[in-house]
Structure 1
Amino acid sequence: MEYFKKSVIRKIVFVSIVSIIISMSILTYVIVNNTFDAMKNSNEQTIKKEISLLVENIETFNNVAKTGADRMGNIFINMLGNIKINNNDKIKIGKLNTPILTIDEKIINLDFSIVDEFSKITKGSVATIFVRKDDDFIRISTSLKKQDGNRAIGTKLNKKHPGYEKVIQGKEYLGKAVLFGKSYMTKYIPIKDINNNVIAIAFIGSDITDDLEKLLTTISSKKIGKTGYYYILNSKKDSNYGKFLFHPNLNEDSALEIKDSNGFYFVKKMLETKDGTLNYLWEGYKKFVVYKTFDDWNWLIVGGVDSSEILEKANEIMYMTIFLSILTLIFISFAIFITLNKSLKSLNKIKNGLLDFFNYLNRESEHVEKIRVNTIDEFGIMAKVINENIEKTQSSIEEDRKLIDETIEVLGEFEQGDLCQRLNLSVNNPALMELKIVLNKMADNLEKNIDNVLSILEQYSNYNYLNKISQTNLKEHLLKLANGVNTLGESITSMLVENKTNGLTLDESSNILLDNVDKLNDSSNEAASSLEQTAAALEEITSNIRHNTENIAKMSNFSNKVIESATKGEALANDTTSAMDSINEQTQAIAEAITVIDQIAFQTNILSLNAAVEAATAGEAGKGFAVVAGEVRNLASRSAQAAKQIKDLVENATEKANSGKTIATDMINGYKQLNENISHSTSLIQDIENASKEQLQGIEQINDAVNQLDQQTQQNAMVASQTHDVAVLTDEIAKLVVSKADEKEFEGKNEVKALKFNKKK
């Protein structure tokens, strides 16, 4: 069993041989009874399969055409921008007044630039823009042309068109249509406003006339058996209902009235039932037909053959089967083995070729080898068809890869910041061509906007902030970038205006400050000088007041002492009076004593004379005594004189004492009055002393305050000087700020004024 599991060929050969042996064994018995029915059913099924295969081919053709039309419809709708309708204004197209339709504010009525560009891009496909007026859709821009070569402008979409009902409901329609004698695969796309109302239709049509004719030619050339053939009827219930689209033998326009020899309207029957088989008599022959409806195109595809051909072949097979059944059993195994082995080797080559091709498609290999099957059988034809399609696909893939590689290279340059690169290759793939156009447009737009931003930033770097980036047609990040740069310019402009305003304001303020500082400086210097002089004067006054206060204190002490002295003087005057009385008494006693002294002096003088006489008498022994006697005499003489003088003095003293007594009495009276005056003076001096002390305290406080004020004034003068330097520097900075702001270009530069402040009086 492992031998068969490892090979499909072995399985097929084994199964085929076994099946044939079994089949041929049974066939000899069954074929006699069932040959006719079996062959008839076999041929009927064959015809049915061929019809189904034909319908599938048509459906494949239809699907491919629809896919292309759908893709082109998407391309066309992407070419349209913001669409709006104006029902108030009209533009006359032909005999119809049509509402104005705009795309990105550009009027589309009678403007063929977009539809012609689409036709150019898609290499011959047509496009139309319909505008809605009431329940009609009118062509206002189209590249579709009528039979006479003129544009089909100003015509309406037929309300019986199958796409009308869908579009009016806001749905897309995709299908085949015949327009002005040509067949198109069409797509109708409804265009809605913001209220979801259909206001227009975007239409595209891909011309399939030639391909359809080739398809019909292929169908018409197909044969069923020897005399069998195909034909197609229109199954749509309209004016063309039941008409032949083509028939190899009949020339009638309509088949609805065709009937067989028995009066059977077999065409009507087929149109009504749409799908099945039918037998009828035609010109003496029994016909067998298989029919199937292709609804998308409203085609009834019919394949028919004479029943006699089916039976004839069945008879031949019956007789031949009996004859050949034995030979078949002998030779068929060997023949099938060789045939299947050779054929399935071709299938294996096809398999390997397809796998190689799929590896190429999946980029697992760089090259693809053709399938080397040179037979003329189905495998050979299949290999040939596959090779042709591989070549086409390879060519298309190579083109696409080149464009994709170029796209990757250009996008790589974009990533590095080079926005000048563009896609230049052209390919047959409409989607890639549309991608190329979109990428190039994107690059143009991006480069343009980046250049605008760089230009504005370069102006900003040159201190020119007058221009702004246009925000027209910008979205998302580019719009944010433009807003950011414009906001930057506005911010810088605002900052420059504010700087210049502050500079001008600071300039004016610094000038005022300079004037005030100069005045303050002068005033501070003058005040400092005046305070210095005042402080010196106050110091001198304080010193004088302090000296006066001390003198007044001394005067107070002196006045107290004077009072004491006056009191003592009065007492002394009283004592003097008493003393004068005593002196008078004493002078009298002295006068009496002087009289005695005078008598003593006289007696002494007598005695001295006697002594001198005695000394003279004594001789030498009395010389010394004579000297003493002489001195005593002299003393007595002087005592006498003194006594006389004393007497005179006493007399004089007595007179003076009497006079002094009188004066002393007057002094007593004077001292009493002096005591009273001195008491008043002392009281006044004490008051003056107290006031002088208070004045001294006040002037000392004033002196201290003036000294402090002098220090503060000196500090103020120093601060004023420093403030003057700061004001000069501020003025220079203000002028520099204004100068730097004037060097830059920005809006409102010449209108900038300094701020105005209310001056406080």
Structure 2
Amino acid sequence: MKFYKNLSLKSKFFTLIVGFGVAFVIFLVLTILGEAKFSKHTQEQIIAMLEQEIKAKIKLGTDSMASSLGELVKGLDEKDQIAIIAKAIDKFNFEDDKSGYYFAFQKGITVAHPNRKDMIGVSYWDAKDPNGVYYIRELFEISKDTSQKGKFVYYIFSKPLPQGGFVDAQKVAYAKLIPNTKDIWISTGVYIDTLDIYTHATSQGILGDISQTIYNNIAISMVAFLLIFFPLMWLFYSTHLRGILSLQHNVFAFFAYLNHESKQMDSIPLDSKDEIGRMAQAIDENVKRTQEGLKKDSNLVRDVLGVVEEAKEGRFGSVIENTSLNPQINELKDAINQMSHTLLISLERISKIPHASLKRIKIMTLPTG
């Protein structure tokens, strides 16, 4: 704080500009960093939203498929039921990469699967994924759930690739018991990497528009900063700061004149109508009054010296007519005029006394001893 107080006004002005510039840069950096954080948060929100939407869709599709298959196999023996279910789901695929499909189990045994024929007839009741999830058990349990909300299972399973082959990927699945069957349930799900593709594409479109708006606003702010702030600061500098410097010059010049360090007042005129201009005008008016007062004082002092010189020569009665703006000097002037007038009257009285009487007065006033 002390360092700042010792700075000149010009240095303080440029410190203000630098400080504002630094603050603006910090604002830009925080905006960019905030945009990245906002993008991440938005993408997470979109992922959560789309995940809920996809869950609702696979639940609706699974419930609808289970209900339809239940009506188709009603009254048939178990072998025919399984054959109809297998035929119904064998060619059905969804998702662009064909990773969406239905599969059916009877409790823990695979009865129908469009992609993994090697699994049919095999029990997976004790199967668990790399994370230890007994996904078949959990799917069977939620298939019996009659609540409207539904439950879902997250697990890792082999995902069919468009070019052939399989790869392990995380999956979210839903299951539903097929009516009119004995513990046969149907399930489907969505692989999370597919969900990420959906959310990434959707979020990038939204975030792209948001980012574009943010960067456009930053660009507009920077242009406005360059076109508005700097001209205004220069205008402020060229008027106020220069006015203050001129005012400082005038004050120093006035004191130099007042202290007789200079014979004339070398002032810089200011024609502004703001506070600085009014201050400068007030100073100019007071300078003129002071100059007038100093001139009057000088004339009065000259007259006083003249009266003193006449008094030295024995001449009295001269009157000082010049006045001063200083009341005390005027009192001094009046006192000198009164003294001169009194001495003049005294001399006139003395001049009327006879010469013999003056001699006696002189003898009487001579010192004795």
- Note whether the superposition's TM-score is higher than 0.5: no
TM range (shorter): 0.3 to 0.5
Which structure's relative contact order is higher, taking Cα pairs within 8 Å and 6+ residues apart? 2
TM-score of the superposition, structure 1-length normalised?
A: 0.20
TM-score of the superposition, structure 2-length normalised?
A: 0.38
